[in-house]
Chain A
Amino acid sequence: MNNGKISVQQMAILVLLVVIGDSILIAPSLVAHFAKEDAWISGLLGVVLGTLLAGLIYFLSRLHPHATLVQFNRTLLGKWMGGIMSSLFLLYFLLNAAAMTREIGDFITTQIMPETPLRAIHLLLVILLMWALYSGIETIARTAELLFPWFVIFFVVLLICLAPKIEIDRLLPIMGHGFMPILQGSIYVIVFPYAELTVFLMLFPLVTRNKHTNRDFILATALGGIAITAVILICILVLGPYITAHQTYPTYALAKKISIGGFLERVEAFLAIIWIISIFFKTILYAYAFLTGFSQLFHLRNERILLMPSAFLFFGLAYAISPNIIYYDYFLTNYWPLWDFTYALVIPLVLMIVHLFRRKKRAHSV
């Protein structure tokens, strides 16, 4: 787990994967629940607002370009206050990593393999997670680079193969329910894809910058949002708003609809590779942020000693985080956005104000 370097290209791919993350699987249903036929407008609105939020997170990281969030907190708030703030973020990273492990587990056990115990899936995932973290961030970035073309190919296959099933009428009436539901729906496009980019505050210092870094970051976030909007749109076009809103995993239901020439059918298990790639990489980055953050907070010389204990932590927490999928969904819809906004919007704004205040004070004293 040496502190490797990642290129701008690799950063862009990781950003894109994090933005798409679990949203590709759950966002259509959450958005359609509020915005109905206009879910795609919520998507577009979400992309615009979300990119602004991503810009805010990016701006925060540029205040101290060579410090991770934990180091930044320490210089800004001092040892104790900074430590408390960093611990809060570590808790956030830990819970997010565990929740996303649970999300994959729930998806597999409810949709693909109902007879396999949840913990068996978690075990496999946590072993893989540790295998990835043990290899280091450079390897993680390279793996993302290697898997990304497959991600794109499968994604495009999903969209193209569904083209024959599209019925434009399903979009009507446009704006039939007014503007508020659209705004409400767009929250879910802002929160899960964009607010959770907070994890990059631990990763930005590793990026070998070039003159395209700013542009590529914003481009990747926007593209990710557009991909999610495309999925929402195709869900509405193929499934209609009612079914989209009432499926837990509408994208998976979409993949079931694919039928080519009467022999290529029910390939959804293959297409699940799309979201398993994106969710898993999001999980890895959160777990990585937790581990490096922890070792930076306590000045550990070797991060590897944390691997085994955190594996147990992830495994246990992924199971304990919610008693069942109903509870998890309820929690995800109602409370998780607030939790995310706290760490992506409120705390960064506070940090930025403290930074400005301190700079002003320093300017005065000099």
Chain B
Amino acid sequence: MGSGSAQHRNHINLFREALGQSPDLIIREMKISNTVPAAILYMDGLVDVQSLHDFVIKPLMSVKFKDLNVVLPSKQNLLELLVEEVLGAGEMEISGNSEELIKHLLSGNAILLLEEKRDCIRIKVAGLEERNVTEPLTQSVVRGPMEAFTENSQTNIALIRRKIKDPNLWLESSSIGNVTQTKVSILYISSIASDKVLNEVRARLKKINIDGILESGYIEEFIQDKTYTPFPTVYNSERPDTIAAGLLEGRVAIVVDGTPFVLLVPGLFIHFFQSSEDYAQRSDISSLIRLMRYLAFCIALFAPSLYIAITTFHQEMLPTSLLINLASQREGVPFPAFIEALLMEVTYEILREAGVRMPRTVGQAVSIVGTLVIGQAAVQAGIISAVMVIIVSITAISSYVMPSGSMSISVRMLRFIFMGLAASFGIFGILIGIFGLIFHLCNLSSFGIPYMSPLAPFIAQDQKDTLFRLPWPRLLTRPLLVNKKNIKRQKQVK
């Protein structure tokens, strides 16, 4: 081992032992200006070696104290001198807190130790292998920006800042997770965002005390208003434009390092039916498509249960010829409609789950089996009726119309409850189920804001962008309930 006093060795060993003699802790020892022994510590793979070399190692190696104005710097200000005149990197700090330093070491900092100094310099030279900004995989659009967030929260914040160039776009960062030390940032436009929601977000984030945060879903479950509900009360998106639009409405974004899914609160029921494309397309077609989404929501939720109710209890509702057709199809089917529907819905859910998890290469095999088994063989074998196949298909397709995946998950779960109610009480059962569901929805809130607003409580002014979207020149104000501070979106043109 190189030169240096025993004290210097101990100092280096302190770091080495804290990391359990891990071989990926690289220790580069050197002598600054041939006189002061020093060591640079960094984690292999967490730093960008090129910039470490160019801006840290090279200047340190080539510096001669006699070139600087001071002849031989006094021991106290050597660190300051290095920071001020020698090192070329951007973010650095002098610190003596070894726990803090180890945290920084593990998040991509290099640490410079000097002999006879307790304090060290940490230099941010993080450089991680990361994914490029690509097209969004979950919320794709025909017209609109084609970029999505990545796993790096800095990149994500930059993507949002590129859309909102306003000094009032403020950021508050903290690290959550005792072990993972994940960086979680709150992002909001201070001149618009509601202070009530903001304080609530801060308070709820502060309460989290867990060993690790690996995805924004962890945060979501901690900060939602009600834990036991099938409905999402926190919005998530991997689209920077969606998040930017939310910020402009006065909502608060939560960016979690390590995931492309950024959270947006408050997340109300109607938000899960809005797509960023609604605002890019013309208002007439966007309004119609939005209405269609609500229709699809109802189909996905009620189609199987209505089929069960009508075929079991209310046959009189069907036109006679259709009823005869149906009856002849169901003649050979051994199960009651409820069991038939349950069988098919569960089969579909299994196929769907398999489709998501399995390796791409076997995907085709499963889809062929699925199509043949469900589409034809099951009908021919007389296990189910052909109408049931149609019902299951329309249900499955409708549940993917929702622009946000979180809402289709709720629908998939609730569908089975409604099927049970329909099987035992017919349309009356479905009606009671709807009442119960609406009571639950109206009881929910997201960060203190009623979940069903602006439908219940009804706010006439916000109807312009709820079920319909009026043309942009008519969208004069921001949503009223989320936002009371800065209502005006545009100056009215006379």
Chains A and B belong together in one complex: yes
Measuring CB to CB, which residues of chain A are less than 8 angstroms from any residue of chain B? 7, 9-10, 108, 112-113, 116, 120-121, 124-125, 128, 131-132, 135-136, 139-140, 142-143, 145-147, 262-263, 265-267, 269-270, 272-273, 276, 280
Given contacts A113-B428, A146-B456, A147-B438, contact A269 B443 (CB under 8 A): no
CB distance from A147 to the nearest CB of B (A): 7
- Which residue of the partner chain B has the closest CB to A9? B458
Question: A44–B17 Cα gap in the complex (Å)?
Answer: 92
Q: B406-427, CB under 8 A of A: which get 1 and which 0?
A: 0000000000000000000111
Question: Known: A135-B443, A139-B443. Contact between A128 and B438, CB under 8 A?
Answer: no
Q: Nearest chain B CB to A149's CB is how many angstroms away?
A: 9
Closest 8 CB pairs of A and B: A142-B456, A142-B442, A146-B456, A135-B443, A145-B456, A266-B316, A139-B443, A263-B319
Contact B435 A280 (CB under 8 A): yes
Chain A nearest Cβ from B317, distance in angstroms? 5
Nearest CB of chain A from residue B206's CB, rounded to whole Å: 26
Contact with A along B319-331 (1 / 0, CB 8 A): 1000000000000
**Chain B residues, CB < 8 A from A142:** 442, 450, 452, 456-457
Enumerate chain B residues within 8 angstroms of A146, measured Cβ to Cβ: 438, 441-442, 452, 455-456
A145 touches B458 (CB 8 A): yes
With beta carbons under 8 angstroms apart, the residue of B426, B436, B442, B456 that contacts A113 is B426
CA distance A339 to B316 in the complex (A): 40
A-B CB contact pairs (8 Å), 25 listed: A7-B457, A9-B458, A10-B457, A112-B428, A113-B313, A113-B428, A121-B428, A124-B432, A132-B439, A136-B443, A139-B443, A140-B439, A142-B450, A143-B442, A143-B456, A145-B456, A146-B438, A263-B319, A266-B316, A266-B317, A267-B317, A269-B427, A272-B428, A272-B431, A276-B428
A72 to B429, CA, bound (A): 40
The reply to whether A269 and B426 form a contact with Cβ atoms under 8 Å apart is yes
Contact between A143 and B439, CB atoms less than 8 A apart: yes
Taking A112-B428, A116-B425, A125-B432 as contacts, is the C-beta distance between A269 and B455 under 8 angstroms?
no
Residue B9 is within 8 A (CB to CB) of chain A in the complex: no
For B429, give its contact among A7, A124, A265, A273 (CB under 8 Å). A124
- Tell me whether B53 is interfacial, beta carbon within 8 Å: no
A108-B428, A142-B456, A145-B456 are contacts. A269–B438 as well, Cβ < 8 Å?
Answer: no
B314 on the interface (CB 8 Å rule)?
yes
How far, in angstroms, from A140 to B310 measured CA to CA in the complex?
29
Question: How many B residues have CB within 8 A of the partner chain?
Answer: 26
> Of A10, A116, A120, A128, which contacts B435 at CB under 8 A?
A128
Minimum CB–CB distance for B281 against chain A, Å = 26
Give the residue of B317, B319, B436 whose beta carbon is less than 8 angstroms from that of A269. B317
Q: Which residues of A contact B452 (CB under 8 A)?
A: 142, 146
Query: In this complex, what residue of A is CB-closest to B427?
Result: A269
- List chain B residues, Cβ under 8 A from A112: 313, 426-428
| Docked pose: A262 CA to B429 CA in angstroms | 27
B432 contacts A139, C-beta separation under 8 Å: no
Q: Known contacts being A262-B319, A263-B319, A265-B319, is A143 close to B431, with CB within 8 Å?
A: no
> What residues of chain A lie closer than 8 Å to B443, measured between beta carbons?
135-136, 139
Given the complex, which residues of B lie within 8 Å of A9, measured CB to CB?
457-458
How far apart sit A128 and B431, CA to CA, in the bound complex (Å)?
11
Q: Which residues of A contact B439 (CB under 8 A)?
A: 128, 131-132, 135, 139-140, 143
| Residue pair B442, A139 in contact (C-beta under 8 Å) | yes
Q: A112-B427, A113-B425 are in contact. List 4 more A-B contacts (CB 8 A).
A: A113-B426, A128-B432, A142-B456, A146-B455
